[in-house]
Amino acid sequence: MDLLYDTVESINTFDIVSSKLLYNHDSLTILPRGRKTHKKYTLDFVDEIPIHNFIDLEKGDFVVHVKHGIGRFIGIQKLKEKSGKFRDYIAIEYADDDKLYVPCNEMHVVQKYIGFEGRSPKLYKLGTGQWEAVKERVSRGVSNMAMELLQLQAMRKSMNGFSFSQDTDWQKEFESEFPYEETPGQVQAALEVKMDMESPIPMDRLICGDVGYGKTEVALRAAFKAVMDHKQVAMLVPTTILAEQHYNTFSKRIKNYPVNIQMLSRFKTESEQKAILEGIADGRVDIVIGTHRLISDDIRFKELGLVIIDEEQRFGVRHKEKLKQMRALVDILTLTATPVPRTLHMSLMGAKEMSIINTPPDGRRPVETYVTEYDEELIRDAILHEKRRGGQIYFIHNRVYDIDNVEERLKKLVPKLKVAVAHGQMHEDELEEVMIEFINGNIDVLIATTIIESGIDIPNVNTLIIDRADMFGLSDLYQLKGRVGRFKNKAYAYFLIPRDMVVSGESEKRL
């Protein structure tokens, strides 16, 4: 309870052990000091971010104020009040360098921003109707979502879906061949998925976990289980690059079993696509992985039993409408690192089941990071060191206008290595071809802007070099550093700044 003079500012109840706020109280009785009578306050408790998450805020983190929108947390400051007393305030920076100071006892109106990985949100302007307009737009969609949700759930509950069999001997053998030690989160998620599949009610489960935490293995086990019952599996991904990566992963993992896996994308020739479509229609194709091409009208499955959706938030509205229609008919498994707020909200409401994998694999080692002046000898040594151990390298240069010059310099530094460029101004086909070549190990050094695909896992890339690191924000540096060191190999990150440059205080703190 927070008291300001004789006024009750806010009341929260929380569990001392877990440090989480508790909800679902209808009312609380408050006994004012020095009075024998009592006054009853009726309070509406709403979900808020757990207290320990707020304490974990660091300078530079994005936050959301209930009334003013998205800003940047810049620290806790002591300010003098009219009474002469000093009080702690949460300092938040908004657009145009405006500042908002929120009393710490009102921290319930400030929550940590949760958004898409690798993207920094736009700061809102104080004193405008921007944030209110956003809330109004969201509010208008709530009733439609509620109606749609009720109809969908009613349909699913009333239908008798397919009940998959319990694990076969092959299923147990397949799972035992997993080359890594499973994390507790993986084991629990896989168990929950299989229980859903064995139920007569169609599954609609969300698996949430960071990149490299083992979501794909859970999806593999679900797909294998479906195939064991002679059902087909469709895995839907947002980009051709991800389709290629998942196809390689599935093919390698299931190579010892008579399972026909195909990939459908625009990189396939017309004759190849025709053969795959025929295989899907007559049941010869067991698992097909592809982009939104999989939900085209000309696709006919003989016995579709499971749809796996990777990063649903990156699909367009039209594609999501098609997915919505599929949800009532087959088992749906959604994988994501950053769930779209609507999907996450449905999970928290209980309308969609959710499994969270929050434990990283054993053996993951911290990224060894260096902040140093630009030095071509250092760059060459770092690249060759990675190449000698069979790895690949990211070189981040976030200025397209002279990125070709950087390519020429690196080619002179390491003439025997394959160097390529990737940036957002390239044609989509050309960019995808470069990324696929890099994923397949045919490119040694990829010079890229911050376009690096956040959803892509490339275990072989474990050296990151960032040119002009002083020009990147804290969030960007953190996300870029997260592109390496996802697996057991030792990873290195080099943050380069110009020679003899005096770095500003803020840049120095970020680095």
| Same-domain status, 351 and 393 | no
DSSP string, 101-145: EEEGGGGGGEEE----TT-PPPPPPTTSSHHHHHHHHHHHHHHHH
| Same-domain status, 352 and 376 | no
Helix or strand holding residue 22 (H, E): strand 21-22
- pLDDT tens digits for range 443-458: 999 999 877 755 567 8
DSSP character for 363?
T
pTM confidence score: 0.62
Is 302 part of any domain? yes
With a CB cutoff of 8 Å and minimum separation 6, the contacts of 373 are 496, 497, 498, 499, 500, 501
The mean-pLDDT minimum among 293-307, 332-346, 430-444, 448-462 falls in: 332-346
| Same-domain status, 324 and 398 | no
Strand partners, 447: 395, 421
Pairing of strands 392-396, 461-466: parallel
Q: Which residue has the higher pLDDT, 208 or 25?
A: 208
| Same-domain status, 337 and 404 | no
Last residue of a domain, one of 332, 357, 382: 357
| Same-domain status, 503 and 374 | yes
Cβ–Cβ under 8 Å, residues 361 and 180: yes
* Domains contained in the chain, number: 3
Residue 477's domain spans which residues? 368-510
| Same-domain status, 185 and 299 | yes
Q: Count the helix, strand and coil residues of the chain and give each as a percent rounded to the nearest 5.
A: 35, 25, 40
Q: Which residue has the higher pLDDT, 450 or 147?
A: 450
- Predicted local distance difference test score (pLDDT) of residue 353: 81
- pLDDT tens digits for range 313-353: 677 656 666 666 665 678 999 998 755 455 555 555 455 68
| Same-domain status, 168 and 287 | yes
| Same-domain status, 479 and 441 | yes
User: What is the distance between the alpha carbons of residues 286 and 25, in angstroms, rounded to a whole number?
Assistant: 51
